[in-house]
Amino acid sequence: MTNPPYDLIIFGATSFVGQILSKYLAEYLSSSTETLRWAIAGRSQAKLQEVKALLGTAGQSVPIIIADASNEVQLKQLCTQTRVVVSTVGPYALYGEPLIRACVDSGTDYCDLTGETQWIKKMIERYEPAAQQSGARIVHCCGFDSVPSDMGVYFLQQQAMQQWGVPATQVKMRVRTLKGGASGGTVASLLNVVQEAAADPALRKQLLNPYMLCPDHHGSMTRQHFVKSAEYDPDFKAWIAPFVMAAINERVVHRSNALSGDAYGKNFSYNEAILTGDGLKGRLKATGVVAGLGAFMLGAVSKPVSQLMERFLLPKPGEGPSIEEQLSGRFDLRFFGQTDAGQTIRVKVTGDRDPGYGSTGKMLGQAAIGLALDHGQGDKKTGRQGGFWTPATLFDARFIERLTRHAGLRFEQV
């Protein structure tokens, strides 16, 4: 692409996360030595003006671009004006494909925060050959799902290679702390995945495949352990329960291993769960988490029940945690790795904001900036070329440095 007017456009700037991302970008760039030409885009001029007003003096020079998620002509025009598009318009399975197609056709780089595994699979199948040809680099899952998991495993493996010269072929992630709320957009995406799976037996089977997002003929045959009930984990000396985001995170991490030529080992295994504590109290808490998840899934697959849940219990689209809740939120993820020879390593990844929104806005912002500045046009010739990548395979140690310096994350060996 020949020198478009913008480096980065936020598409869906009026969404809940889009507003957080726009505010973060305006504040970051106003005090950073990095320069970035950026704009905000969406379908409503009036709502975009409201977002611009929220940005204060830092955002007064930010241009507005009108583009509707279903208008292919507008999306194509948007893509010709920028090197990178970052999208917050979900559920992506309902609204995301036209923008992917426009980016692929124009060779425009793209990142988002989707966690919709079935949609990612479809996009890879439909557009990867064209993306490889046009040079468009598509990076899904650049929010809480799945940056801490994917980059956490990347960091762990870097430490293992430095210490022993071999990767940790068995890795677990356990959620120690997770404080934050959900937005209507996230809930809508989750309900959509559950309802699609309930209506399609073939999709249900596909979603259970840990290698669902791996390229064909990836060759991994290692049986993966999926935590679906209350269990005792001797490596953490605690009871564990299923983690709802494991369904996307585990598949992204396996795709990272496959795309990197089995850098984590051909017999690599990975699973995620929530730590609930030791003793009887920990066991009861784990059992309670299992029961709660089961009740939610049963409610989600029933249209009348899910409608009641959406009306009276769950946040509406555009709603989400308050600024105070975002600031008081946090997360603490613990990773345990073991090599084939039995050497063990532990690392932790922590974040200083509500994981789904305050922290996701910063992670997504740094992913987009990194895509534009660290992995720009020259990188397409010497680094990652067109195609569908994961955070850990498109980005590198510079992304961890960005997350540490500017997004409130910490990666530490413990």
Q: According to the model, what pLDDT value does residue 204 have?
A: 83
Span 51-73, pLDDT tens digits: 999 998 888 899 999 999 999 99
Q: Is residue 253 part of a domain?
A: yes
Same domain? 193 vs 255: yes
Same domain? 326 vs 198: yes
Domain boundary (336, 354, 372) is at: 354
Predicted structure pTM score: 0.94
Same domain? 367 vs 293: no
| Six token digits for residue 200 | 């399609």
- How far is it, in rounded angstroms, from Cα 125 to Cα 108? 18
Please give the tally of structural domains in the chain. Answer: 2
Q: Which residues contact 182 (CB under 8 A, 6 or more apart)?
A: 314, 315, 320, 321, 356
Q: According to the model, what pLDDT value does residue 325 have?
A: 74
Q: According to the model, what pLDDT value does residue 293 have?
A: 86
Q: Is residue 413 part of a domain?
A: no
Q: Is residue 400 part of a domain?
A: yes
Task: Give pLDDT tens digits along the chain (414 positions).
Answer: 568 999 999 999 999 899 999 999 999 999 999 999 999 999 999 999 999 999 988 888 999 999 999 999 999 999 999 999 999 998 898 999 999 999 999 999 999 999 999 999 999 999 999 999 999 999 999 999 999 999 999 999 999 999 999 999 999 999 999 998 665 556 666 777 777 877 888 888 888 899 999 999 898 889 999 999 999 999 999 999 999 899 999 999 999 999 999 999 999 999 999 999 999 999 999 999 999 988 877 777 777 766 776 666 666 655 666 777 777 789 999 999 999 999 999 999 999 998 888 899 999 999 999 999 999 766 666 678 999 999 999 999 999 999 999 999 999 999
**For residue 378, which amino acid is it?**
G
| Six token digits for residue 88 | 């917050």
Same domain? 170 vs 245: yes
Cα dihedral 299→183→155→111 (10° resolution)? 110
Q: According to the model, what pLDDT value does residue 327 have?
A: 74
Q: Which of 49, 100, 52 is nearest to 79 (CA)?
A: 100
Cβ atoms < 10 Å from Cβ of 277: 14
Q: According to the model, what pLDDT value does residue 400 have?
A: 98
Q: Is residue 84 part of a domain?
A: yes
Same domain? 390 vs 296: no
Same domain? 236 vs 125: no
| Six token digits for residue 293 | 């998840």
Span 285-331, pLDDT tens digits: 999 999 998 887 777 777 776 677 666 666 665 566 677 777 778 99
Same domain? 154 vs 135: no
Q: Which residues contact 274 (CB under 8 A, 6 or more apart)?
A: 174, 175, 178, 240, 241, 242, 243, 286, 289
**For residue 6, which amino acid is it?**
Y
Same domain? 270 vs 366: no
Per the structure, the complete domain to which residue 18 belongs is given by 6-144+358-407
Domain boundary (339, 354, 369) is at: 354
Domain boundary (310, 328, 354) is at: 354
Q: Is residue 48 part of a domain?
A: yes
Q: According to the model, what pLDDT value does residue 45 have?
A: 96
Q: Is residue 266 part of a domain?
A: yes
Q: Is residue 286 part of a domain?
A: yes
HEC-encoded secondary structure of 328-394: HCEEEEEEEEECCCCCEEEEEEEECCCHHHHHHHHHHHHHHHHHHHCCCCCHHHHCCCCEEECHHHH
Same domain? 308 vs 164: yes
Same domain? 172 vs 276: yes
DSSP conformational letter for 57? G
Same domain? 267 vs 381: no
- Which CATH number characterizes residue 76's domain? 3.40.50.720
Q: Is residue 414 part of a domain?
A: no
Same domain? 152 vs 137: no
Q: According to the model, what pLDDT value does residue 382 have?
A: 63
